[in-house]
Amino acid sequence: MFSAEPSSPTQRFILQATGSPVQPRIRFHSTLDRYCGRKWPENLASDYCPKDRTIVFQLTDGLVKNPSKLFEAVSIGCEYAHHVQQLSGIQRAYGKLPRRGGADRAGPPPRPAGGVPRRRLRPQRLEAPESA
Protein backbone atom coordinates (compact mmCIF):
# COMPACT_ATOMS: atom_id res chain seq x y z
CA MET A 1 0.00 0.00 0.00
CA PHE A 2 1.22 3.48 -0.89
CA SER A 3 0.85 6.20 1.70
CA ALA A 4 1.67 9.88 1.57
CA GLU A 5 1.56 12.64 4.13
CA PRO A 6 0.22 15.97 2.88
CA SER A 7 3.17 18.27 2.36
CA SER A 8 1.52 21.38 0.93
CA PRO A 9 -1.45 23.59 1.86
CA THR A 10 -3.24 22.36 -1.28
CA GLN A 11 -2.85 18.73 -0.26
CA ARG A 12 -4.06 19.49 3.27
CA PHE A 13 -7.07 21.36 1.82
CA ILE A 14 -7.98 18.37 -0.35
CA LEU A 15 -7.76 16.04 2.64
CA GLN A 16 -9.96 18.32 4.75
CA ALA A 17 -12.47 18.95 1.93
CA THR A 18 -12.95 15.27 1.09
CA GLY A 19 -12.70 13.91 4.61
CA SER A 20 -10.82 11.00 3.11
CA PRO A 21 -7.17 9.99 3.36
CA VAL A 22 -5.24 10.18 0.12
CA GLN A 23 -4.06 6.58 0.29
CA PRO A 24 -4.87 4.51 -2.80
CA ARG A 25 -4.23 0.78 -2.91
CA ILE A 26 -1.55 -0.23 -5.40
CA ARG A 27 -1.43 -3.53 -7.28
CA PHE A 28 1.20 -4.90 -9.63
CA HIS A 29 0.31 -7.54 -12.26
CA SER A 30 2.46 -9.40 -14.76
CA THR A 31 -0.60 -10.25 -16.88
CA LEU A 32 -3.94 -8.55 -16.77
CA ASP A 33 -6.96 -9.24 -18.98
CA ARG A 34 -9.72 -7.31 -17.23
CA TYR A 35 -9.69 -4.67 -14.56
CA CYS A 36 -12.21 -2.22 -13.13
CA GLY A 37 -15.07 -3.76 -15.11
CA ARG A 38 -13.46 -3.41 -18.53
CA LYS A 39 -10.87 -5.02 -20.79
CA TRP A 40 -7.33 -3.87 -20.07
CA PRO A 41 -6.06 -1.83 -23.08
CA GLU A 42 -3.16 -3.48 -24.89
CA ASN A 43 -0.53 -0.75 -24.51
CA LEU A 44 -1.52 0.64 -21.12
CA ALA A 45 1.17 0.50 -18.43
CA SER A 46 -0.87 1.80 -15.50
CA ASP A 47 -4.40 2.86 -14.61
CA TYR A 48 -6.52 4.13 -11.74
CA CYS A 49 -9.83 2.49 -10.87
CA PRO A 50 -12.18 4.90 -9.06
CA LYS A 51 -14.53 2.03 -8.14
CA ASP A 52 -12.11 0.51 -5.64
CA ARG A 53 -9.60 3.40 -5.43
CA THR A 54 -6.74 1.26 -6.67
CA ILE A 55 -3.73 2.11 -8.82
CA VAL A 56 -2.69 -0.79 -11.05
CA PHE A 57 0.65 -1.26 -12.83
CA GLN A 58 1.25 -3.93 -15.42
CA LEU A 59 4.81 -5.22 -15.21
CA THR A 60 5.83 -5.94 -18.78
CA ASP A 61 9.05 -7.71 -19.80
CA GLY A 62 10.43 -4.44 -21.15
CA LEU A 63 9.77 -2.59 -17.91
CA VAL A 64 11.28 -5.35 -15.76
CA LYS A 65 14.40 -5.72 -17.95
CA ASN A 66 14.97 -1.99 -18.46
CA PRO A 67 13.31 -0.03 -15.67
CA SER A 68 13.37 3.72 -16.02
CA LYS A 69 13.02 5.74 -12.85
CA LEU A 70 11.54 8.60 -14.87
CA PHE A 71 8.87 6.32 -16.36
CA GLU A 72 7.99 4.95 -12.94
CA ALA A 73 7.79 8.42 -11.39
CA VAL A 74 5.59 9.74 -14.20
CA SER A 75 3.27 6.72 -14.01
CA ILE A 76 2.95 6.85 -10.24
CA GLY A 77 2.41 10.62 -10.29
CA CYS A 78 -0.23 10.40 -13.01
CA GLU A 79 -2.25 7.64 -11.35
CA TYR A 80 -1.94 9.26 -7.92
CA ALA A 81 -3.32 12.48 -9.45
CA HIS A 82 -6.33 10.50 -10.75
CA HIS A 83 -6.88 9.23 -7.21
CA VAL A 84 -6.78 12.75 -5.73
CA GLN A 85 -9.10 14.00 -8.51
CA GLN A 86 -11.56 11.23 -7.63
CA LEU A 87 -11.51 12.07 -3.93
CA SER A 88 -11.90 15.81 -4.51
CA GLY A 89 -14.80 15.44 -6.95
CA ILE A 90 -12.89 16.72 -9.98
CA GLN A 91 -13.42 13.51 -11.99
CA ARG A 92 -17.15 13.51 -11.23
CA ALA A 93 -17.47 17.17 -12.32
CA TYR A 94 -15.42 16.51 -15.46
CA GLY A 95 -17.68 13.59 -16.34
CA LYS A 96 -20.69 15.92 -16.32
CA LEU A 97 -19.17 18.31 -18.88
CA PRO A 98 -20.62 18.14 -22.40
CA ARG A 99 -18.55 16.07 -24.79
CA ARG A 100 -17.21 17.44 -28.05
CA GLY A 101 -17.82 15.35 -31.11
CA GLY A 102 -19.11 15.30 -34.66
CA ALA A 103 -19.33 18.82 -36.09
CA ASP A 104 -17.92 20.15 -32.82
CA ARG A 105 -14.63 18.37 -33.36
CA ALA A 106 -11.64 20.39 -34.49
CA GLY A 107 -10.76 20.17 -38.15
CA PRO A 108 -11.88 21.58 -41.47
CA PRO A 109 -15.56 22.47 -41.75
CA PRO A 110 -17.72 20.07 -43.77
CA ARG A 111 -18.51 20.83 -47.40
CA PRO A 112 -21.80 22.63 -47.98
CA ALA A 113 -24.83 20.65 -49.21
CA GLY A 114 -24.79 19.97 -52.94
CA GLY A 115 -21.05 19.35 -53.04
CA VAL A 116 -20.15 22.97 -53.76
CA PRO A 117 -16.47 23.34 -52.94
CA ARG A 118 -15.40 25.88 -50.37
CA ARG A 119 -13.76 29.03 -51.67
CA ARG A 120 -10.06 29.21 -51.11
CA LEU A 121 -8.54 32.41 -49.94
CA ARG A 122 -5.85 33.72 -52.23
CA PRO A 123 -3.00 35.88 -51.03
CA GLN A 124 -3.62 39.58 -51.53
CA ARG A 125 -0.95 42.12 -52.29
CA LEU A 126 -1.00 44.86 -49.72
CA GLU A 127 -0.25 48.32 -51.07
CA ALA A 128 1.32 50.94 -48.90
CA PRO A 129 -1.11 53.79 -48.23
CA GLU A 130 -0.44 56.95 -50.21
CA SER A 131 0.91 59.75 -48.11
CA ALA A 132 -1.27 62.87 -48.01
Picking from 27, 52, 54, 56, the residue whose alpha carbon sits closest to that of residue 44 is: 56
Q: What is the DSSP secondary-structure string of 110-125?
A: PPPGGGPPPPPP---P
CB atoms closer than 10 angstroms to residue 27: 15
31 pLDDT band, cuts 50/70/90, is confident
**What pLDDT sits at residue 4?**
43
Domain boundaries, the chain: 9-95
Say if pTM beats, i.e. exceeds, 0.75: no
Distance CA 99, CA 127 (A): 45
Mean pLDDT of 112-122: 49
